[in-house]
Structure 1
C-alpha cells in the first residue's frame, strides 16, 4: 500500500460523500467514487482531478441491487491500491413505523446496513493482511436516541455503530482503523427523502463543518466521532457505564429482582 492509498467513497455524488472526496483529494489520495448519479460524479471527478491532480475513477451503482453491489465489492477486494473505505451511502424514510411499507423498509435496510456490511466484508480481509488501512462508517446520533422517533432509521444506525465498534476490536490489533461518525441534523439531501424542509429545522450543521470535524476525529484515530457533542466526557461516561455492566451478564441464575417470592 502506498503512503497515500486510494479512497473509495459511497454516496459520493453529493453531500457528505462529495465532501469526503474533496478532503481526501486535497490530501493527495486517488479516489473511487460510487453513487447512482453519473453526471454529478463526472462533474465532481473532473474538478477534483483539475484542482488536486489525483486520479478519480467512477462506479455507477445502486447499492440496493445485488449485481451492482457485487461490482463494488469486487473492486474493494481486488484493488490493492484502495486502503480506505468510506461507507457513506444511506437514506431515510418519512412517517411513523406503521406508516412505512415493508418494501420501503427493506430498501432502507439494504442501503443503510446490508451494503456497508458487505463492502466492509469485501475490504477487511485484504486490509488485515496488509496490516494497515481504514474503514469509516457514517452512522447517526439517532442510533443512540430512540426518543427521536425514527425507529427503523435509528435501528440501522445503531447497527452501524455496533458494527464499527466490533470491527475496531477485531481489526485494530491487525493495524486496521475503524471509525464510526455520528452526525446529528446535517444539511443534506436525505431530508428530501423524508419530506422535510431542512431550512425550517433548527440547529442544522453544514456538511463542510461536519466532514472537517470527522476528519479531525479520523486523524486522532477516534473509534467514535460525534461532531455535535461538546463534552466528550459524556460519551466516555456512557461507555464506562455500559462496560461496567459487562461482568453482570455472566450470572448462572436470574438476578434476584426477577426471582419469584412467596
Structure 2
C-alpha cells in the first residue's frame, strides 16, 4: 500500500472531528493535535479570518481535509444550522465542545445580556451540539464526545458566579450522558482544566499580568494532557491534578451524599419540639 493509500485509509477510519472555538487557544491546539492523529476537521468559530488562517496552516502541515464553519454559537440561527449540519453528517466521529466565554465581574454588575450570552454559549450550544451528534453515534455504536468544562465546575469564585454555574452544568450534563451511554461504544470525556493560557482571560476583563505564571498551564500542555487522558480511557480528565485520588474521593463523596439524602424524614437538627 502506498503512503497516499495508507493516509486515505487512516482518514476514512478516523472520520471528521468537529472542534468549536477553533480559531485560538485550546480549540486551535485540539485542531492541530487531531489533525496529527489523522482526523479530517470541521472547525467552527466566530472569527472567519482567524479560522481560515488556522485551516490553511493545518492543510499545509497535514494531509487532511479541513472545512471551516463561521458561526456565532450564541446566535440561535447559527446554532441550529450547525446542529443540523453535524447531526446529518455520518462522517462526523468526534465532537470537541470547546467554545466558551467568561465574564469576570461581580454578578450584580454583570448585565443580563452578558449572563444570557454566557448561558447560551457555555450551556445551550454545548447541549444542542452534543444532542445533535449522539443519536448518530449511538446508531453506529461509535463516536467520541469531548466536553470542556473547568475547575470552576466545582468551585465558585465571587467574581465568576455565573461562569462557574455554567461550568457546573457542563460537568453534571456530561456526567449524566456518560451514565446513559456507559454500555455502548460511544466515548464521552469531561475535561476540567484549571487556569490555562488563552484569550478567555483578556476577553473576560482580566489582566494576564496580574496572574501567577506558575498557576497557568499552556494550552498545548492542557490539550496534550486531555488527549492522553482520552487514550487512557478516563471519563474525567483534570490536566493539572497530580493526585488523581482527590477526584475519586470527591466523586465518591458526592454519590454518598446523594444516597444519604434519599429519605422522607427531615434531618434531626431540623426537628421542631411539639
TM-score, normalised via structure 2 length: 0.92
SS at match of 2:183: helix
> Equivalent residue for 2:173?
163
Pick one of 68, 72, 75 that aligns with 2:78.
68
> Is the contact made by 2:104 and 2:159 (CA closer than 8 Å) also made in structure 1?
no
> Equivalent residue for 1:245?
257
In the TM superposition, 1:58-97 aligns within 5 A as: 58-97=68-107
SS at match of 1:178: strand
SS at match of 1:7: strand
> Equivalent residue for 1:119?
129
> Equivalent residue for 1:24?
34
Shift of residue 248, structure 1, vs aligned partner? 2.0
Q: What's the CA shift string for 1:55-107, capped at 9, x where partnerless? A: 00010000111111111101211100001000000001121000001111001
Shift of residue 149, structure 1, vs aligned partner? 4.0
Q: Distance in 2 between matches of 1:134 and 1:34?
A: 17
> Equivalent residue for 1:234?
246
SS at match of 2:196: coil
Q: Distance in 2 between matches of 1:146 and 1:33?
A: 31
Cα distance change on mapping 1:88 and 1:4 into 2, 3 Å = same
Matched, 1:199 2:209: yes
> Equivalent residue for 1:224?
236
> Is the contact made by 1:142 and 1:148 (CA closer than 8 Å) also made in structure 2?
no
The two structures, once aligned, show a CA RMSD in angstroms of 1.4
Q: Distance in 1 between matches of 2:159 and 2:248?
A: 25
Shift of residue 250, structure 1, vs aligned partner? 2.0
SS at match of 1:3: helix
Give 4+ residue runs of structure 1 displaced > 6 Å after superposition: none
> Equivalent residue for 2:138?
128
| Structure 2: segments with no counterpart, 5+ residues | 1-10
Shift of residue 245, structure 1, vs aligned partner? 2.3
TM-score, normalised via structure 1 length: 0.96
> Is the contact made by 1:77 and 1:122 (CA closer than 8 Å) also made in structure 2?
yes
Q: Distance in 1 between matches of 2:98 and 2:143?
A: 17
Shift of residue 51, structure 1, vs aligned partner? 1.1
Q: Distance in 2 between matches of 1:181 and 1:145?
A: 15
Q: Distance in 1 between matches of 2:65 and 2:124?
A: 29
Q: Distance in 1 between matches of 2:23 and 2:77?
A: 20
Q: Distance in 2 between matches of 1:220 and 1:108?
A: 32
Q: What's the CA shift string for 1:11-63, capped at 9, x where partnerless? A: 00000000000000000100000001111111111111121110000100001
Cα distance change on mapping 1:2 and 1:258 into 2, 3 Å = farther
Q: Distance in 2 between matches of 1:68 and 1:255?
A: 48
Question: How many residues in Structure 1 have an aligned counterpart in Structure 2?
Answer: 262
> Equivalent residue for 1:34?
44
Cα distance change on mapping 1:112 and 1:18 into 2, 3 Å = same
| Structure 1: segments with no counterpart, 5+ residues | none
